[in-house]
Amino acid sequence: MESKTQKRVFKNIGVLTGGGDSSGMNAAVRAVTRSAIARGVNVIGIKMAYRGLIDNITEQLTPISVSNIINRGGTFIYSDRCKEFNSPEGVKRAVEICGKLGIDGIVAIGGDGTFRGARDLTHSGIPCIGIPATIDNDITASDYSIGFDTALNTVIAVADRLHDTCESHGRCNIIEIMGRGSGYLALYSGIACGATEIITNEFLPKKADDSVTDPNARSLDEEHAKALLDKMLKSRQLGKRSFLIMVAENMLPVKTTIQETGVVADGRKFPVSVVKLVSYGEALCEYLNKQMELMNSGKSIIETKFMRPSHIQRGGVPTFRDRAISSLMGDKAIDLLMLGKSNLVVCMRKDEITSMDIDFALEVDRLFKGKTTIEALEKDFSADDIEKMKAIVEEKRASFYDIYDVNRTISL
Ligand code: F6P
């Protein structure tokens, strides 16, 4: 085997998994551990992500302690979204614990929150490397994040079962798909399951003239819902029996006012209006059923049901893709540390495992998600960097919309 270049000497490297867990995290911890130990470096598993650093909860990892975990979902060193770490005092405490334990480098596996922690630690003198892992696949710097494929396959398994029963009963099923602010999981599972429609905030944002002023809520887009209903009815005429609709959880919930009956102490009843938030998928389900019934004097032509697979999407045996990419990324993270590099995130770009500066990666992510502007970036980044960011964002958007368009063309 070709020997690997080593420019910096480490005694102990810490490894942690942060944010929402994802299948493949264990395979990445295994690769980091074995790759570091093969180069004579001890590995300390930091439990519950940054909480483990603040509260000093760690475990020595050995080639054997990471044995037989490549095939397990979740993360055996646990995860946490540690709020205390998001303060200068939290970072200071973490640096102190690193000093106490002799940790002189860290591999942080997770999403953007985990990378912000890695950046803060690097700036405080502990070199860190990030590895993207989240079922949301929303790390703009990387074409792929660990756990996405397993989550997709889980959604496909759920949707295929629903498809069977929808076909038998001539029904439609709306499935609410995780992804936090991102529609990737809904988009990819939608095209893979033959969804009649994929609804994500990227494709169906809240309209400027929406009367709901609450920034965290919206109205049902009736124009879109009506077009969907027409599409389903047309397809039914052609003989199509089953329909699946993927709704991403990044669709804001719908604000509705419903009439309820209040009761006073003496038992008298009175009508009250209650404002409620319902998920977009549930609101759409209610709309479709109501409209179908109206059209057919009370009898639904195509009955629609709603389901939320929720955290089922996060667990399960990692797929080949998640095991293999985790292994390669884990080894790459150790390569980078040994070369004396830090503040980098390992990423996959055009099927190649490479790396990108964390500050650059976090900002390109914010640009893609509309959380920053070119003007704001000009303060901290060179014109050349900004051009590179724009190119990444454009390329990502184009491929996202391409998939959506193809699905529209081939779905009935
Ligand atoms: O980021 C992964 C994710 O599963 C999102 O898709 C989802 O919005 C969120 O985490 C759920 O978080 P929690 O596990 O804290 O409920």
Closest-CA residue, ligand 1 atom 6, reads 179
Which of ligand 1's atoms lies nearest the C-alpha of 81?
A: 15
Residue 45 has a pLDDT of 98
Torsion of CA 175, 176, 177, 180, to 10 degrees: 170
* Cα–chain center distance at 321: 17
Q: Which of 367, 353, 385, 355 is nearest to 128 (CA)?
A: 355
> Are the CB atoms for 132 and 144 separated by under 8 Å?
yes
* Cα–chain center distance at 199: 16
pLDDT digits (tens, 9 = 90+) for 243-300: 999 999 999 999 988 888 999 889 999 999 998 999 999 999 999 999 999 987 766 6
Q: Who's near 318: CB < 8 A, 6+ residues apart? A: 23, 24, 26, 27, 70, 71, 72, 73, 147, 150, 326
Strands (E), 145-208: 172-177, 197-199
Closest-CA residue, ligand 1 atom 15, reads 20
- Check residues 282 and 82 and name the one with the higher pLDDT: 282
pLDDT digits (tens, 9 = 90+) for 2-16: 567 778 889 999 999
pTM tops 0.85: yes
| 224 exposure class (CB count in 10 Å sphere: 0-12, 13-18, 19+) | middle
Distance 361 CA to ligand 1 centre (A): 21
Residue 202 has a pLDDT of 94
* Among 178, 246, 252, residue to substitute to test ligand 1 (most atoms within 8 Å of Cβ): 178
Residue 288 has a pLDDT of 97
Please compute the mean of the pLDDT values over residues 55-64 and round it to a whole number: 97
Which of ligand 1's atoms lies nearest the C-alpha of 136?
A: 6
Q: What is the Cα–Cα distance from 61 to 14, expressed in whole angstroms?
A: 9
Residue 300 has a pLDDT of 66
Mean per-residue pLDDT of the chain: 95
Distance 256 CA to ligand 1 centre (A): 25
**39 ligand 1 Cβ < 6 A:** no
Residue 298 has a pLDDT of 65
> Are the CB atoms for 244 and 195 separated by under 8 Å?
yes
> Are the CB atoms for 325 and 191 separated by under 8 Å?
no
Q: Who's near 323: CB < 8 A, 6+ residues apart? A: 24, 27, 70, 71
pLDDT digits (tens, 9 = 90+) for 94-118: 999 999 999 999 999 999 999 999 9
Residue 320 has a pLDDT of 98
Residue 259 has a pLDDT of 87
Q: Which of 300, 398, 396, 298 is nearest to 347 (CA)?
A: 396
> Are the CB atoms for 50 and 85 separated by under 8 Å?
yes
Please compute the mean of the pLDDT values over residues 140-152 and round it to a whole number: 97
Indicate if 136 belongs to the active site. yes
| Tokens 């404002």 sit on residue | 275
Which of ligand 1's atoms lies nearest the C-alpha of 182?
A: 6
Largest CA distance in the chain: 86
Q: Which DSSP helix (H) or strand (E) runs through 162?
A: helix 148-169
Residue 370 has a pLDDT of 92
Residue 257 has a pLDDT of 85
Share of the chain above pLDDT 70, in %: 99
Share of the chain above pLDDT 90, in %: 92
15 three-class SS: strand
Asked if the model's pLDDT at residue 36 lies above 90, the reply is yes
pLDDT digits (tens, 9 = 90+) for 179-202: 999 999 999 999 999 999 999 999
Q: Which of the four pLDDT bands, split at 50, 70 and 90, describes residue 330?
A: very high
Closest-CA residue, ligand 1 atom 13, reads 20
| 310 exposure class (CB count in 10 Å sphere: 0-12, 13-18, 19+) | exposed
Q: Which of 44, 42, 74 is nearest to 56 (CA)?
A: 44
Q: What is the Cα–Cα distance from 391 to 248, expressed in whole angstroms?
A: 26
Closest-CA residue, ligand 1 atom 14, reads 20
Please compute the mean of the pLDDT values over residues 205-212 and round it to a whole number: 94
